[in-house]
């Protein structure tokens, strides 16, 4: 019997490991950690969690309950670290596929004091090739990858389309941390999109201006194995602290969101200009209520673009 219950929050698998190298606050030689969990997405209006899946969970009595959420797991400090947990999160959210320890054990190496695992972004990129996915990425350390998109754009266009992002963060003393981005929040009351409207433009035959929806994003929602799932990570705190961005997609494309957005704006603006010129040439003052609304927003440069990735067969 399969049931859907709103009160079902999800499941958590907790493992205990015994190893001489790890210490736990619960005992001297055992470490308890979350091996895997799916917790229902928080029902908050400003939360937009797009990288998630439905998961059936069997409980006693032959009942199967369904939860929708993003995968979360913690490092065990024995053979994996934050990079490994983020890869597990991202691959499950994208493909519904578990990444096992024997696949991850060769990724990275322990540092000199044998307490943390060091993994470079090129190693991560090479490891992900086995999953036959497309990676939109930028290495901020080596300045390699997509170089005409901001950090916010690289993350936002992916998670808004339902794709997970593995995000590398610089910390103090040359240390680093990695989290999985699964969504974002919108601040509908921010003045920034209007105030910075002139910053989002491209120049072709004539100036094209619009407001991208990323301008309203104030936090990215992340799975952080040190703290837990669905934490809000303020974008402002990350501006100069990003080491790499890796957006995972399950289709093969060669046009990233910011470029598609620019091209769409250029095509739309050119089309609207031709339509309004035709109306005037025919002596018409209106093209209908909603067409006139569109024209007013176009003429005042207040059109908003919200870009999503999708496959052709999904377009109605």
Q: What is the DSSP letter of 98?
A: P
- Number of domains observed in the structure of the chain: 1
C-alpha 157, offset from chain centre? 8
Q: Is residue 263 part of a domain?
A: no
| Three-class secondary structure of residue 234 per DSSP | strand
CA distance 240 to 243: 9
Q: Is residue 137 part of a domain?
A: yes
| Three-class secondary structure of residue 238 per DSSP | helix
CA distance 165 to 180: 6
| Three-class secondary structure of residue 243 per DSSP | strand
Q: Is residue 279 part of a domain?
A: no
- What Rg do the C-alpha atoms of the chain give, in angstroms? 23
Pairing of strands 228-234, 217-224: antiparallel
Q: Is residue 190 part of a domain?
A: yes
Question: What are the angstrom distances between the C-alpha of 204 and each of 209, 223, 262, 263, 267?
Answer: 11, 40, 10, 11, 11
Partners of 175 in beta bridges: none
Q: At what angle do helices 151-160 and 257-281 cross, to 10 degrees?
A: 80
Q: Is residue 299 part of a domain?
A: no
pLDDT digits (tens, 9 = 90+) for 258-273: 888 888 888 888 888 8
200 φ/ψ sector (left φ>0, alpha ψ -120 to 50, else beta) = beta
Q: Is residue 267 part of a domain?
A: no
* pLDDT tens by residue, the chain, 316 residues: 455 556 778 888 877 765 544 444 444 455 677 778 888 888 888 899 989 988 888 877 778 888 889 999 887 666 567 888 999 999 999 999 888 877 887 776 655 444 556 778 888 888 898 898 888 888 887 877 776 778 888 899 999 989 999 999 988 766 788 999 999 999 888 877 777 665 655 444 445 677 788 888 999 999 999 899 999 999 988 878 888 999 998 877 767 788 888 888 888 888 888 888 888 888 877 778 888 888 888 887 778 888 888 776 666 5
| Three-class secondary structure of residue 291 per DSSP | helix
Element (H, E) at 13: strand 10-18
Q: Is residue 269 part of a domain?
A: no
Range of the domain at 103: 2-258
Greatest CA separation for the chain: 85
| Three-class secondary structure of residue 278 per DSSP | helix
Q: Is residue 284 part of a domain?
A: no
CB 62 within 8 A of CB 1: yes
pLDDT digits (tens, 9 = 90+) for 210-253: 778 888 899 999 999 989 999 999 998 887 888 899 999 887 77
């Amino acid at each position: 019997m399969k049931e859907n219950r709103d009160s079902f929050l999800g499941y958590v698998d907790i493992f205990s490991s015994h190893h001489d190298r790890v210490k736990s606050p619960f005992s001297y030689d055992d470490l308890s950690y979350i091996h895997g969990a799916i917790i229902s997405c928080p029902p908050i209006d400003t939360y937009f969690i797009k990288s998630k899946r439905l998961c059936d969970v069997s409980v006693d009595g032959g009942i199967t309950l369904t939860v929708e959420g993003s995968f979360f797991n913690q490092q065990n400090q024995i053979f994996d670290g934050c990079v490994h947990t983020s890869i597990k999160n991202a691959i499950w959210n994208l493909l519904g596929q578990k990444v096992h320890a024997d696949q991850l054990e060769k990724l990275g190496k322990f540092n000199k004091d044998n307490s943390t695992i060091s993994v470079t972004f090129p190693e991560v990129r090479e490891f992900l090739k086995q999953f036959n996915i497309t990676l939109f990425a930028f290495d901020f350390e080596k300045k390699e990858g997509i170089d005409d998109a901001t950090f916010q754009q690289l993350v936002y266009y992916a998670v808004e389309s339902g794709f997970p992002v593995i995000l590398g963060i610089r910390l103090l003393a040359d240390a680093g941390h990695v989290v999985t981005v699964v969504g974002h929040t919108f601040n509908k009351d921010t003045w920034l999109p209007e105030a910075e409207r002139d910053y989002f433009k491209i120049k072709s035959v004539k100036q094209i201006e619009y407001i991208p929806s990323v301008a309203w994003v104030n936090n990215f929602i992340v799975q952080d194995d040190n703290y837990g799932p669905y934490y809000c990570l303020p974008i402002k705190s990350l501006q100069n602290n990003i080491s790499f961005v890796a957006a995972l997609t399950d289709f093969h494309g060669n046009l990233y969101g910011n470029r598609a957005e620019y091209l769409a704006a250029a095509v739309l603006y050119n089309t609207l200009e031709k339509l309004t010129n035709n109306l005037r040439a025919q002596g018409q003052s209106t093209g209908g209520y909603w067409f006139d609304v569109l024209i007013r927003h176009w003429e005042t440069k207040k059109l908003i673009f919200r870009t999503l990735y999708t496959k052709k067969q999904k377009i109605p």
